[in-house]
Each structure stands twice: as structure tokens, then as C-alpha cells.
């Protein structure tokens, strides 16, 4: 009976081993990846443009090329080295109108390209445009809007009106002043009607600031390799 019990126990152990889930074989030198890093949403990346953007000549879908100007550091680790390429596109563009209607351009950034060629999808919008003259970022989407042309338009209309008043008064007195003002004002309005407002124009080297709209996961080992190459 004792011998039979031992045989039954050995059979049970063999069956349990056969049914146990198998573990993947480890390749010598391999180990689980611990190099994944996360660049959190809200992180800002300073960049400089590499191509020209203009509300007068660019169109929806045109590409945007830029390059980061300063390292982005998370938890004492560089996650975006200076010199990383940033690519995007124009989502919408509106040239300046006559008399009224401000020029606008909306840009989204889509890709980070590290010097090694390592590429990461980038959900980025424009947060600030310190290098763009006579314009502002008007909303959270990152639309750049040109300054109002209202003061310039009023001046364009007012100056001919004032000059007409002077000329009319000199030739026909008070009545002539009124007539001259009307004619001068009409001339000024016509000039303004054929004039456009301020356009948004950004030349190569223009500084902008991109903000991440969502978390971005990156491979820290590939970033580190890039940083080491740059030091060499």
C-alpha cells in the first residue's frame, strides 16, 4: 500500500507540472524595459521656425518646420534636447480684410524628430508667440491673430477730410469747408477700402512656444543615446 501511495503522489506531481503555465524563456542579457518616460500634458517647448509663415501667401495644410531652442527636463532627465526637430501644419488661415477683419492663422504641431531619427507623435498647440510682431495668441487652440488696423484706418480717412476742410475754407469759406471735408472724407474712405489690415508674418528664426495637449511617452534610452552623441 505504501508503494502504491508513492506512485499516486508522483503521478499527481507530474500532472500538475504539465498543467502549470509555462514561463517565457529569458534571452541571456535581456531585461524588462525601464526606459519609458512620460512628458506630461502642459509641458512647454520653446522653438524657432525654419520656414516662413504668412497669412497672405500660405494655405491650409501647408507644413511647418521648426527646431527646439532649449532642453526640456523632466525629473532631472532631458526628454527633449535642444535641436530636436518639430513638425506641424497650418490648420486654417485667414488673410487680412479691407477696413475690417483681422488676419488669423491656426497652427498645430504633430511630430518630434530627434537628431537620431527617433520620431514621436506630438499633440501640440501654440501657447505663445513672443517673436511675432503686431499679433497675439487669442485662444487655447493657438490661433495667432494680427492686431487691429482700426487706428490706421481712421487716420487714413481723417487726414484727407482735414485737408479738404482747409482747402475748402480757403476757397469758399464755411460752406467750402463742409464741402471740402466731405470730399476729403470720401477720398480717405476710398483709400482705406483698397487697403488691407495687418497680416501675420513669421520669418525663419521667429520664436514660438508649443504646449503639449496630452501626455507623450518616449523611449529614454534613445534620447540618452542622442544626448551622448551630441556631447561627443
Estimate to the nearest angstrom the gap between the alpha carbon of 62 and the chain centroid.
13
CA dist., res. 187 & res. 183, Å (int): 6
> pLDDT tens across 187-210, in order?
544 444 444 568 999 999 999 999
Q: Which three cell numbers stand for residue 155?
A: 487716420
Mean pLDDT of 116-123: 93
pLDDT digits (tens, 9 = 90+) for 20-55: 554 444 444 444 444 689 999 999 999 999 999 999
Domains along the chain with CATH numbers: 35-149+198-231 (2.40.128.260), 150-189 (no CATH)
61 sits in the region (left: phi over 0; alpha: psi -120 to 50; else beta) called left
pLDDT tens-digit readout, 126-166: 998 888 877 888 887 889 998 866 445 444 444 544 554 45
Helix, strand, coil proportions of the chain in percent (round to 5)? 30, 35, 35
Check if the beta carbon of residue 207 is closer than 8 Å to that of residue 131.
Answer: yes
Q: What is the pLDDT of residues 166-183, one digit of tens each?
A: 554 555 555 554 554 455
Q: 214: which residues sit within 8 A by CB, 6+ positions away?
A: 41, 123
pLDDT at 83 over 90: yes
Lowest mean pLDDT among 105-109, 114-118, 147-151, 168-172: 168-172
Amino acid at each position: 500500500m505504501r508503494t502504491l501511495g508513492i506512485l499516486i503522489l508522483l503521478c499527481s506531481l507530474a500532472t500538475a507540472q504539465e498543467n502549470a503555465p509555462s514561463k517565457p524563456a529569458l534571452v541571456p542579457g535581456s531585461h524588462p524595459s525601464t526606459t519609458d518616460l512620460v512628458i506630461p500634458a502642459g509641458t512647454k517647448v520653446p522653438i524657432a521656425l525654419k520656414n516662413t509663415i504668412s497669412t497672405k501667401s500660405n494655405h491650409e495644410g501647408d507644413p511647418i518646420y521648426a527646431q527646439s531652442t532649449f532642453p526640456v527636463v523632466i525629473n532631472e532627465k532631458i526628454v527633449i534636447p535642444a535641436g530636436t526637430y518639430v513638425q506641424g501644419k497650418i490648420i486654417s488661415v485667414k488673410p487680412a480684410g479691407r477696413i475690417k477683419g483681422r488676419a488669423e492663422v491656426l497652427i498645430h504641431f504633430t511630430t518630434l524628430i530627434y537628431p537620431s531619427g527617433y520620431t514621436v507623435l506630438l499633440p501640440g498647440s501654440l501657447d505663445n508667440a513672443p517673436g511675432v510682431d503686431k499679433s497675439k495668441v487669442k485662444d487655447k487652440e493657438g490661433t495667432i491673430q494680427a492686431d487691429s488696423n482700426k487706428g490706421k484706418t481712421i487716420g487714413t480717412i481723417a487726414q484727407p477730410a482735414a485737408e479738404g476742410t482747409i482747402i475748402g475754407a480757403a476757397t469758399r469759406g464755411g460752406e467750402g469747408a463742409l464741402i471740402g471735408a466731405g470730399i476729403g472724407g470720401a477720398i480717405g474712405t476710398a483709400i482705406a477700402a483698397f487697403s488691407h489690415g495687418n497680416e501675420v508674418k513669421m520669418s525663419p528664426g521667429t520664436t514660438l512656444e508649443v504646449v503639449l495637449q496630452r501626455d507623450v511617452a518616449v523611449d529614454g534610452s534613445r534620447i540618452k543615446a542622442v544626448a551622448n552623441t551630441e556631447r561627443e
